Amino acid sequence: MKITLKVWRQKDKNSKGAFKTYPIDDVSQDMSFLEMIDVLNESLVKKGEEPIAFDHDCREGICGMCSLYINGRPHGPLQTTTCQLHMRSFKDGETITVEPWRAKPFPIVKDLVVDRSSFDRIQQAGGYVSVNTGGVPDANEIPIPKRIADEAFDSATCIGCGACVAACKNASAMLFVSAKVSQFAMLPQGQVERKTRVEKMVAQMDEEGFGACTNTKACEAECPKEIKITNIARMNREYFAAMMSSTNV
Amino acid sequence: MKWLTNLFTSTLGRKLLMALTGLFLITFLAVHLAGNLQLLKDDGGKSFNIYAEFMSTNALIQTVSKVNFALILIHVIWAILLSRKNRAARGSSYAVNNKSSHWTSRNMGILGTIVLVFITIHLKDFWAQMHYGSVPTVNYDGTEVRDLASIVAIWFDKAWYVALYVFCMFAIAFHLWHGFSSAFQTLGLNHVKYNPVINFVGRAFAIIVPALFALIPIMMFLN
pLDDT digits (tens, 9 = 90+) for A2-13: 999 999 999 999
Q: Suggest the residue from B7, B101, B187, B189 to mutate for an interface test with chain A (most A CBs closer than 10 A).
A: B101
Does B9 fall in a domain?
A: no
CA distance A89 to A197: 41
Residue of A16, A170, A174 to mutate when probing chain B, most B C-beta within 10 A = A170
Strands A95-99 and A3-9: parallel
Q: Is residue B4 part of a domain?
A: no
Q: What is the mean pLDDT of chain A?
A: 95
Q: Is residue B156 one of the residues assigned to a domain? A: yes
Final residue before a domain boundary, out of A66, A83, A109: A109
Query: Binning pLDDT at 50, 70 and 90, where does residue B117 land?
Result: very high
Distance CA A181, CA A238 (A): 8
User: What pLDDT does residue B129 have?
Assistant: 87
- To test the contact with chain B by mutation, choose from A236, A245, A248 the residue with the greatest count of B C-beta atoms within 10 A, namely A236
Same domain, A93 and A134: no
The stretch B130-143 carries a mean pLDDT of: 88
B-contacting residues in A 83-122 (Cβ below 8 Å): 97, 99, 102-105
Residue A146 belongs to domain with CATH number = 1.10.1060.10
Query: Domain for residue B169, yes or no?
Result: yes
**Is B204 part of a structural domain of the chain?**
yes
Q: B138, exposed or middle or buried, with CB in 10 Å at 0-12, 13-18, 19+? A: middle
Are A28 and A83 members of one domain? Answer: yes
Of A78, A109, A140, the domain-final residue: A109
A73 touches chain B (CB under 8 A): yes
Do A75 and A175 lie in one domain? The reply is no
A91 contact partners, CB below 8 Å, separation of at least 6: none
Contact A123, A64 (CB under 8 A): no
- Residue B110 contacts A where some CB pair is shorter than 8 Å: no
- Check pLDDT > 80 for residue B165: yes
CA distances from B51 to A6, B35, B151 (A): 65, 7, 15
The pLDDT score that the predictor gives to residue A178 is 98
Q: Report the C-alpha gap between A1 and A39 in whole angstroms.
A: 14
Q: Å from A246 to nearest chain B CA?
A: 10
Q: Which helix (H) or strand (E) holds B139?
A: strand B137-140
Would you say residue B91 lies in a domain?
A: no
Closest alpha carbon within chain B to A208: B89
Cβ of B120 under 8 Å from any chain A Cβ? no
pLDDT in tens, A37-83: 999 999 999 999 999 999 999 999 999 999 999 999 999 999 999 99
How many separate helices (H) and strands (E) can be counted in chain B? 10, 2
Tally of CB atoms within 10 A around B159:
9
Give the range of the structural domain holding residue B44, as residue numbers without chain letter: 15-82+105-222
Residues in chain A: 249
| B187 neighbors B16 (Cβ within 8 angstroms) | yes
A40 & A133 share domain? no
pTM for this prediction:
0.93
Domain span holding position A159: 116-245
Q: Are residue A40 and residue A75 in the same domain, yes or no?
A: yes
Domain co-membership, A56 together with A150? no
Residues 10-69 of A with CB under 8 A from B: 19, 69
Task: Say what the pLDDT of residue A136 is.
Answer: 83
Rg (CA), chain B: 20
What pLDDT band is residue A141 in, cutting at 50, 70 and 90? confident
Instruction: Evaluate whether residue B203 is within a structural domain.
Output: yes
What are the residues whose beta carbons fall under 8 Å from the beta carbon of A81, sequence distance 6 or more? Answer: A61, A64, A66, A75, A159, A161, A224
How far CA A67 is from CA of A72, A113, A164, A166, A211, in Å, comes to 13, 8, 11, 9, 19
Q: What is the pLDDT of residue A83?
A: 96
Nearest-by-Cβ selection for B11 from A71, A212, A229: A212
In a shared domain, residues A95 and A20: yes
B80 lies within 8 A of chain A by CB? no
Contact B102/A216, CB-based, under 8 Å? yes
Residues A120 and A238 reside in one and the same domain? yes
Write out pLDDT tens, residues A116-128.
999 999 999 999 9
The mean pLDDT value for B178-200 works out to 96
Main-chain phi, psi angles of A112, to 5 degrees:
-105, 5
- Would you say residue B100 has pLDDT above 90? no
Q: What's the half-sphere exposure (Cβ side, CA atoms, 13 Å) at A202?
A: 31
**Do residues A215 and B182 lie in contact, with contact meaning Cβ atoms separated by under 8 Å?**
yes
Total number of domains in chain B: 1
Q: How far apart are CA B103 and CA B166, in angstroms?
A: 20
Same domain? For A37 and A100 the reply is yes
Q: Which residue does chain B place closest to A16, by CA atoms?
A: B92
| A70 and A137 belong to one structural domain | no
How many other C-beta atoms lie within 10 A of the C-beta of residue A59? 16
Task: CATH number of the domain at B189, please.
Answer: 1.20.1300.10
E-state strands within chain A? 3-9, 18-24, 69-70, 73-74, 95-99, 108-110, 113-114
Q: Is the pLDDT of residue A218 over 80?
A: yes
Given A77, A109, A141, which residue is the final one in a domain? A109
Is B193 in CB contact (< 8 Å) with chain A?
no
The answer to whether residues A123 and A199 belong to one domain is yes
Whether residues A236 and A150 share a domain: the answer is: yes
Judge: A243–B3 Cβ closer than 8 Å, yes or no.
Answer: yes
Residue B142: band (very low, low, confident or very high) from pLDDT cuts 50, 70, 90: confident
Residue A94: what pLDDT? 97
Residue A132 pLDDT greater than 80, yes or no = no
Alpha carbon distance A129, A230 (integer Å): 22
Handedness of CA A180, A181, A183, A184 (dihedral sign): positive
CB contact under 8 A, A169 and B106: yes
ipTM: 0.91
Say yes or no for a CB contact (<8 Å) between B89 and A210. yes
Q: Give domain status of residue B63, yes or no.
A: yes
Within 8 A of A102 by CB-CB distance, chain B residues are 90-94
Which residues are within 8 A (CB) of A62 and not within 5 positions of it... i.e. 6 or more apart? A159
Provide the number of structural domains found in chain A.
2
Q: Which of A164-178, B45-59, B92-106, B137-151 has the highest mean pLDDT?
A: A164-178
CA distance B61 to B204: 27
What are the backbone dihedrals phi and psi of residue A7, each rounded to the nearest 5 degrees, phi first? -115, 140
